[in-house]
Amino acid sequence: MNDVLTQFRRKSGSKPPLSLVLAANVTTIVLWALICNLAERPIWLW
């Protein structure tokens, strides 16, 4: 996630917009929640 923000920062030459940071944070949280839920289930359900 930090790599994406760093690349965006280099392209724009400034800080990434707040909406992009929030979107990245929300995406990370959602992905972690999905991974945790899947980890509790048998692998054959994938």
Over 1-46, what HEC string results? CHHHHHHHHHHHCCCCCHHHHHHHHHHHHHHHHHHHHHHCCCHHHC
pLDDT for residue 26: 93
For residue range 16-41, list pLDDT tens digits in order.
678 888 899 999 999 998 888 877 76
Residue 12, domain extent:
2-45
- Is the pTM for the entire model greater than 0.75? no
Q: How far is it, in rounded angstroms, from Cα 34 to Cα 9? A: 28
Between residues 39 and 42, the one the model is more confident about = 39
Is pLDDT above 90 for 10? no
